[in-house]
């Protein structure tokens, strides 16, 4: 029987267990795929720890993956057995060798996009599209601040922003990680634990601040991030790896700052059929045109707990994946 990684409630990485799952036949509008790869993302940690509730009836973690279609249900016309596909979004369950899910969730892969690349890129890539095309449509010459620029999301946002002609200031937690951010194309890299990183960001960005700041660190960092943005710029708060975010007063956004604050969700983005198709089509086109997404750490499915522990502790760079 195929195996998967499941939890029964909030807990530490040790709460993740390898379980056997029955093979299910796809119903109307569904497809069953045999997976080769699953992405590991901070949102999976949020689910595991209980920050995001586990959906009723679901126990297997993971929101993105790729594989090959093995069976299709009635009414499925856009897929056939043998197609290579990838996906991101609900329903939860990508930490598995095999799964059945709505065919509308599956994106057929172009011949020159591998399962390995797509399966490790869907969530971060769709997040990058959401941030750079919907939250703040980025224009050539604008400045972007990307926190955790050596991480999986940070690198793909940096690479995509550079392809749009933007200038990128990345922050990292240590000097050892700076080279990964520069390799991704960052124009400047700062240590976000240095005392002057906010002033230095504003100085580099024309002395006025960035047009878009992307903050997945959370905690006390967000209030500092607000200070890096020029008037009428935008801050996108997309996570809280450093812990809960203290309340933000609306007065912190108003004059003389006059900035916007967004809390966009890629899972909500992926749940909108039109946005999902537009975003994944754009992502596939970028991957075909040369957008890369390095894999920094690879684990066997059975070692998912170690993958979570390493990601949570900041021991990884670039994308983190499970292989089947």
**Cβ proximity of 18 and 60 under 8 Å:** no
Spatial separation of the C-alpha atoms in residues 5 and 94, rounded to whole Å: 9
Percent helix, percent strand, percent coil in the chain, to nearest 5: 30, 25, 40
Instruction: Give me the residue label for tokens 């941030």.
Output: 131
DSSP track, 193-248: TSTTHHHHHHHHTTTT-EEEEEE---TTHHHHHHTTEEEEEEEEE---TTSPPPP-
CA atoms within 13 A on the CB side of 21: 22
Task: Please report, to the nearest 10 degrees, the dihedral formed by the alpha carbons of residues 113, 163, 241, 311 taken in order.
Answer: 40
Residue 255: CB partners within 8 Å, gap ≥ 6? none
Strands of the sheet with 260-262, listed across from one edge: 188-191, 167-172, 143-146, 210-215, 229-237, 260-262
pLDDT digits (tens, 9 = 90+) for 187-231: 999 999 999 999 999 999 999 999 999 999 999 999 999 999 999
**Cβ proximity of 31 and 91 under 8 Å:** no
Q: Phi and psi dihedrals of 264, rounded to 5? A: -75, 150
Spatial separation of the C-alpha atoms in residues 12 and 2, rounded to whole Å: 24
Q: Phi and psi dihedrals of 64, rounded to 5? A: -145, 150
Spatial separation of the C-alpha atoms in residues 140 and 164, rounded to whole Å: 6
pLDDT tens-place values along the chain, 324 residues long: 999 999 988 999 999 999 999 999 999 999 999 999 999 999 999 999 999 999 888 999 999 999 999 999 999 999 999 999 999 999 999 999 999 999 999 999 999 999 999 999 999 999 999 999 999 999 999 999 999 999 999 999 999 999 999 999 999 999 999 999 999 999 999 999 999 999 999 999 999 999 999 999 999 999 999 999 999 999 999 999 888 999 999 998 998 899 999 999 999 999 999 999 999 999 999 999 999 999 999 999 999 999 999 999 999 999 999 999
**Cβ proximity of 228 and 221 under 8 Å:** no
Structure tokens at 57: 């009836």
- This prediction has a pTM of 0.94
Structure tokens at 291: 């957008």
Going by C-alpha positions, the residue among 115, 152, 145, 159 that lies closest to residue 286 is 159
- What's the per-residue H, E or C state across 103-151? HHHCEECCCCCCHHHHHCCHHHHHHHHHHHHHHCCCCCCCEEEECCCCE
């Amino acid at each position: 029987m195929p195996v998967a990684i499941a939890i029964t409630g909030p807990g530490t990485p040790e709460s993740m267990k390898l379980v056997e799952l029955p093979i299910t036949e796809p119903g109307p509008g569904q497809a069953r795929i045999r997976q080769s790869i699953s992405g590991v993302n901070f949102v999976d940690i949020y689910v595991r720890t209980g920050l995001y509730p586990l959906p009723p009836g679901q126990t297997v973690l993971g929101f993105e993956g790729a594989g090959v279609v093995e069976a299709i249900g009635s009414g499925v016309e856009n897929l056939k057995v043998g197609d290579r596909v990838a996906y991101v979004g609900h329903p939860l369950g990508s930490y598995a060798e095999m799964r059945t899910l709505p065919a509308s969730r599956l994106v057929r892969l172009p011949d020159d996009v591998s399962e390995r690349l797509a399966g490790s890129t869907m969530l971060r890539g769709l997040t990058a599209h959401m941030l750079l095309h919907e939250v703040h449509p980025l224009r050539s010459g604008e400045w972007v601040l990307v926190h955790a620029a050596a991480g999986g999301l940070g690198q793909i946002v940096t690479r995509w922003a550079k392809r749009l002609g933007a200038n990128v200031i990345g922050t990292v937690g240590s000097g050892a990680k700076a080279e990964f951010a520069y390799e991704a194309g960052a124009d400047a890299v700062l240590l976000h634990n240095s005392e002057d990183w906010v002033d230095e960001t504003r100085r580099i960005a024309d002395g006025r601040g960035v047009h878009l700041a992307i903050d997945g660190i959370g905690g006390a960092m967000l209030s500092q991030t607000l200070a890096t943005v020029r008037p009428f710029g935008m801050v996108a708060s997309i996570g809280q790896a450093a812990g809960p975010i203290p309340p933000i007063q609306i007065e912190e956004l108003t004059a003389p700052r006059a900035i916007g604050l967004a809390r966009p969700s890629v899972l909500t983005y992926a749940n909108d059929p039109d946005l999902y198709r537009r975003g994944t089509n754009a992502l596939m086109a970028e991957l075909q045109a040369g957008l890369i997404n390095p894999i920094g750490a690879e684990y066997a499915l059975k070692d998912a707990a170690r993958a979570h522990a390493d990601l949570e502790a900041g021991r990884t760079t670039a994308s983190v994946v499970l292989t089947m």
